[in-house]
Structure 1
Amino acid sequence: MVPVVHSHRLRVRYSETDQMGVVYHTNYLNWFEVGRTEFIRHADLTYRQLEEKGVLLPLTDASLSYKKPAKYDDEVEIRTLVSEITPVRLTFSYEVVRVSDGELLVTGRTHHVFTNTAFRPIRLSRTEPAVYDWLEKQHKGGE
């Protein structure tokens, strides 16, 4: 079983770089958010719709490993997949790759917990079983 990988491309903007033209390190976390937002959009669901259903997905932990820098005007691809899922937790894994040469720039993971609007943990498999099933299917390779 190979998880489904969603890819999203973007071009590095000047405002995302430092004086040397290198992407400032915290911007990768923003790109991870773009990756998971677009990943969820493939379920014909937006974060806003999920929140309207009373389901939040707060971040509990993040890790990044920098391999090579992205630079101003590079086109990069954010590759996102569900690497772990339980009824109460979800982990996304990411790769940021430069499109022009396929160079791996950054890898990372974000850990989340499913909560209600009062930030109390919920079991997504009970609250929104269709959403949970879709995420689990992505983790298992879209079977």
Structure 2
Amino acid sequence: MISETVIRTRYAETDQMGIIYHANYFVWFEIGRTEFFRLFKMDYKELEDENILLPVIDVGCKYIQSAKYDDEIIIKTKLTKLRGVKLIFSYEIIRKKDNVLLAEGYTKHAFVTKELKPINFKKKMPHVWEALNQSIEGGN
């Protein structure tokens, strides 16, 4: 399953050259991830209410072409791995008007409690685990 979220780049996101500042792509990954969870009628607030956090433990981005001010972009997000206490999302950032791939990246997360202790998410929320697992092509 792939979540697609469309946003318009803002002037405040640009650098002195009129190009979107590189760190904003990581913010866009978060937007994509948040919308991905909404597909399962789940949001970060609900997870936090259940004493579950998903800190980023690794992140990467490959920049291919520059996004610029006022571009409409599509954030494509998919869950690519779900195993143990870890999950990995992959992202594609695409300029909507010409369907050009601007960047691709990933984030790796761990299921932890508010005390930052690993948590068995499969046991704590089996219905959500199963739905997430099924969102990966063929499951894990």
| Common fold by TM > 0.5 | yes
How far apart are 1:21 and its partner, in Å? Answer: 1.2
In structure 1, runs of 5+ residues without a counterpart are: none
> After superposition, what is the alpha-carbon deviation per residue over 1:39-95, rounded to whole angstroms, capped at 9, x for unaligned?
001111110011101111010000000000000000000000001111310000000
Pick from 97, 106, 117: which aligns with 1:100?
97
Q: Which runs of 4+ in 1 moved over 2 A?
A: none
- Give 2:51's aligned amino acid: G
Question: What percentage of aligned pairs have identical amino acids?
Answer: 42
Residue number in structure 2 paired with 1:66: 63
1:116 & 1:128 partners in 2: Cα distance?
Answer: 13
TM-score, L = length of structure 1? 0.94
Is the Cα–Cα contact under 8 Å of residues 87 and 132 in structure 1 kept in the other structure?
no
Pick from 18, 22, 26: which aligns with 1:25?
22
Residue number in structure 2 paired with 1:138: 135
How far apart are 1:141 and its partner, in Å? Answer: 5.7
Q: SS of the counterpart of 1:131? A: helix
- Give 1:29's aligned amino acid: F
Residue number in structure 2 paired with 1:127: 124
Residue number in structure 2 paired with 1:45: 42
1:104 & 1:37 partners in 2: Cα distance?
Answer: 21
In structure 2, runs of 5+ residues without a counterpart are: none
Report the count of equivalent residues: 139
Q: SS of the counterpart of 1:140? A: coil
